[in-house]
Structures are given as C-alpha cells and as structure tokens.
Amino acid sequence: MTEAWVQAGTLAVLSRQAISANDCVGTLLKLIDFLVQQPDLAHYGLIKDIRDKIMTLCEAEASLGATGRTLGPKLSASPDTPIRIALSGVAPISFHSILARIINQVVTTYPDEKHESWDDAIVVLKEFNDALWMRFERIGKASLTGSESVLFNLNSAAFAIGEQLLWLWRQIEEIPMPDPDLYEIADGEERVKIAGRLSRRQDFKDEGLEKLLSLHIIAFYSRCRTLLPATANDHDLRECLRSATALGIQALGLGLSELAVKTVETVGRSCSAMLEKGGVKRLVDNCRTISILPEVGLIALHENDSDMVTAIQNVVSSLFSEAKVLAGQQPDAFHNWSAPNRLILERLVEWANGENPDGLFGVRYQAWRPTFTREEAQAYLQMWQGLLV
C-alpha cells in the first residue's frame, strides 16, 4: 500500500500535480504519526520504510526543480510541496512533530526499570534518525543542476532535529536512573531482563545519544556547502552555518564540549571553503559570516570551557589569515570598515557596546540558552583586537 502511494506521489510530482503530491506526503506522514502513538512501538521497520518513501518524494521534487520547473512559485519556499510539508515544520504533522513524539516516549519511559516501551522507543528513535543526513544530502544533490537551493528546508529540519536531540540529552541527564535492588527480584529471568534494560539505558546515556547527535549535526553540516547550486544565492548556506553554530553553542552549554568543538571546526572549514571560492568579490560577506564564531568563544569564556576557547582562537585566526591574503590583492578596496579584522569582529563590537546584533539571541534556543556579561565581551574584544592585526 505504501509503495503504491509513493509511486502515485512520484508521478504527481513529475507531472506537477501539486495537490496529489501533497496528499500522498500528508497521508504517509499521518501513517507514521499514528504508528509512533501506539502502545507497542515495535513497528520501527515500517516507520523507517515510510520515512524513506517520503524522502523519495522530496528528492523527486528537488529533481524537478533542477530542470527549471517547480511545484510552486519557488523551490525553496513554495506554499505547499512535499519538501516544505515534511521538512520545514510548518505543517501540523511533519518530521519535527513525529520526532517530538518519539522523544517524548523515550523520556516518559526512561525512569521505569520494567517498562519494555523504553526499548521500543529507543529503537524507533535510532531507526528514524538512521542515515537521515544521507537522505538530506540526496535531496540537496538532486537540486544541484538548477538555480534554486533547497537548503532552507533541509536546514530547517536538521536544526530542529538537532535541538530536539539536545533537549533529550538534557532530560536524560536530569532524570534519575532507576536503581532497583536486583537481588530482591526472586525470578532469575526477570532479574536478568531488568538488568539488561538498565545497562542499555546507561549505555545510551554514556555514549549512544552523543554519537547520535554527532552523526546528525556533523554529518549534515559538514556537507551543506556541497549542496548549493552553483548559480544560487549563498544566503541559505550562511543560514546553515548560523544554525550549526547555534547547535554547537547549546552542546557547549550542556557539557558536550567535544561535540561543540567539532561543530565549530566544521563551520570553520566551510568558511574557509567559502573564502577560497568567493575570492575578493565575496570577501566582505564571507568575513561577516565568520563573525559568528568569536561570539562562541565569548560564551565558552563565560562557561570556563578552555577547549572551546582554544578551538575558536585557532579557527578564527586561521580564517583571518586567509582573508588578509585575499584583501591584499586589492588593498585600496579593503580598509577602514571593510578590513577583514573589522568585519570579523563587528558583531563582538556590538556586544561589547551593549547592543544585540540580532544574531546570537535572535535564534530560538530550545535546549540551552547562552549568556555572558558586557564586561566579558569588552575584555574578549580587546584580546581579539590585539590578535587580528
């Protein structure tokens, strides 16, 4: 039945029958939503299969857009298309809402040492997220020969899912582990079952969730710069880097220092690639993109995270050196306000002046909200002004 739906939906997409295509995607989303609400969540194989079928329809839409035709007025922001319905989070049922249900199952069953639903919920969570970034990548690559980017919607989904997983990390950290006296359980088989469930919970808390977060955040955001059509505006790519930075900040605040460092290093590599590709022509815009990174260092300073402070210093210093070389090609064009050091530090200057550049706190922070003082911003700015010369 689901195979028939996806075949009908693909034909509807390719023949530009938007209503039929949207109906197919909406029906498949409702089916997943129904399955994850059942008391027995052991339908993970079917849930992942339907997820992939929805991704197939989104990929077909991206391929259509690559030919210069779209289901709506614009590929990246059509009012109703499979990509927007499934990924942007504006529809009542989307990947955002479905994952929220799954995570709620994980959280509510976590404290119960006997409840088998926790095992089911964890399997569903892993299967729903399994290689999801690869499906996002396929959708992005399908649009590469066109002139419009689908990164807006891919980033919407990737950022929302990343925040939901970070929120889950916070809940798992705060919820106490069940601590039954196993020796009081007379039934040996039941005792082994409960011990196994407790061990799996501890493994998930110690390693499993962090690996899931790393795969999702690093895998997608390390590739987003390769998913932008050559003729498309790079605004969506810049927003991807801002989203990745926001996820890194929240990982930092939640104690996931290694993930946070990997995230900002990923953003740094993307910024370096943008500098190389954009050259002198895009230098001003690219330096302003880099300016989001010193803010992360300021937050790390406030949180006393020396690893992140060092990572930011290394990344920003390296990017400044690259930008300085480019600026040297046209020294008359890059002075005063347009000098790379001024552009890279301009957001930090606003923070030091007590202003909000509507970037750091303009982003919605669901899992953890950053903070620092104006005095810290002033001292940190002074340090950078001595380094970037």
Percent over 70 (pLDDT), the chain: 89
The average pLDDT across 138-159 equals 89
Mean pLDDT, residues 296-310: 95
Q: Could you give the C-alpha distances from 357 to 38, 137, 288, 349, in angstroms and in order?
A: 45, 31, 12, 9
Q: Cα(185)–Cα(169) distance, rounded to whole angstroms?
A: 30
pLDDT for 207-226, tens place per residue? 888 888 998 999 999 999 89
pLDDT tens digits for 243-286? 999 999 999 999 999 999 999 999 999 999 999 999 999 999 99
Name which of 46, 60, 57 is nearest 1 in CA terms: 46
Angle between helix 44-66 and helix 2-14 axes, rounded to 10 deg: 10
- Spatial CA neighbour of 96 closest among 112, 107, 108, 85: 85
Q: Is the pLDDT of residue 146 over 90?
A: no
> Does the pLDDT value for residue 362 go beyond 90?
no
DSSP 93: S
Would the pLDDT of 353 be above 80? Answer: yes
Each residue's pLDDT tens digit, 64-109? 888 877 766 554 445 688 888 999 888 889 999 999 999 998 888 8
Q: Each residue of 309-328: pLDDT tens digit? A: 999 999 999 999 999 999 99
The domain locations on the chain are 1-233, 256-389
Q: What is the rounded distance in angstroms from the CA atom of residue 114 to the CA atom of residue 41? A: 16
